[in-house]
Amino acid sequence: MYKRILLATISLICFLIMVSNPVYARELSIVAGDLPPMITENGVGHEATIIKEVMAACGHTVKFRIVPFTRNWIEFQSGVYDAVSTVPAGMDLAGQRSVVYIRYQNGASVLASSGLKIHSLGDLAGKSVISFAGAREILPGLQAEVHNFADYHENTNQLVHSNLLFAGRVDAVLGDGLIFAEYNRRLREREKAGETLSFNSNQSVIFTAIFQPSPYVMVFKDGTLRDDFNRCFDQLANSGRVAAILKAAVEPYRATVTTQYQGY
């Protein structure tokens, strides 16, 4: 009798564990945009670190599939991946949405030698401007101001943004300050390695945060994985770990973003 009761108790405990933890530790496939230094083609970067550490706190590992930014949203809809990263908080994308886990600090970057002082989109009236693909939908007020620019276009390859600014072919770049600074660093590394560029990549630039930080979420196929992410993100955020990752990410680009990157 006692043995039967013991076995029944053990069975009940196992059942309750299964109900409360329906998703066990696993390797998650996440499709992400190529956004250095946030997430690079190798699946590293401070945004990638946040995602990996959050999921590790829940017992999961992460494998990234890196594609051009904006294509990650499209590929997620194939149903092949467990989650997609860097989804604008207001975007209508089918799936289970997480809490906001990162914010990008978009702004305007100009050459210091231009003398331009950009404090709002209105200051770009009559100027040639380039931004990232999808910027009209993401950057507040941009769609309404584009007609006032002398020229405006978007390009997925953000290295092109730095090329055009240093070459004097655009007046301003709209985008995240760290991404802009990282591509500038890559151009300078190429020059140091002996490559001849048609412009001086060591020109001083000024980044001004003219937008409020843009919030991004993860979108999961499975609601239980989303709940895991939310719970473990809160734990890491409350411990100060998320802020520490972000602060460390800004330091290498301090000369470009100064104190304009969300106060870090």
Measured in degrees and rounded to the nearest 5, phi and psi for residue 20 equal -80, -15
Tokens of 114: 């231009």
pLDDT of 120 over the 70 cut: yes
C-alpha 68/C-alpha 36 separation (Å) is 11
Tokens of 208: 């001004």
Closest CA to 241 of 33, 52, 28, 42: 52
Neighbours of 165 (CB within 10 A): 26
Which residues touch 55 (CB under 8 Å, ≥6 apart)?
28, 61, 62, 228, 229, 232
Dump pLDDT digits (tens) for 19-50. Answer: 344 446 789 999 999 999 999 989 999 999 99
C-alpha 18/C-alpha 24 separation (Å) is 9
Query: What integer pLDDT is reported at residue 71 of this predicted model?
Result: 95
According to DSSP, the residues that pair with 75 across neighbouring strands are none
C-alpha 200/C-alpha 188 separation (Å) is 9
C-alpha 152/C-alpha 121 separation (Å) is 12
First to last CA, the chain: 65
SS3 call for 260: coil
Tokens of 8: 């029944």
Full set of structural domains in the chain with CATH: 25-104+215-253 (3.40.190.10), 106-208 (3.40.190.10)
Dump pLDDT digits (tens) for 180-220. Answer: 999 999 999 999 999 999 999 999 999 999 999 999 999 99
Q: How far is CA 80 from the centre of its chain?
A: 21
Q: How far is CA 13 from the centre of its chain?
A: 41
Work out the mean pLDDT of the chain and round it to a whole number: 92
Tokens 């890491």 sit at which residue? 236
Q: Residue-wise over 80-108: b if at least 16 C-beta within 10 A, else e?
A: ebbbbbbbbeeeeeebbbbeebbebbbbb
Q: What is the pTM of this model?
A: 0.88
Dump pLDDT digits (tens) for 44-77. Answer: 999 999 999 999 999 999 999 999 999 999 999 9
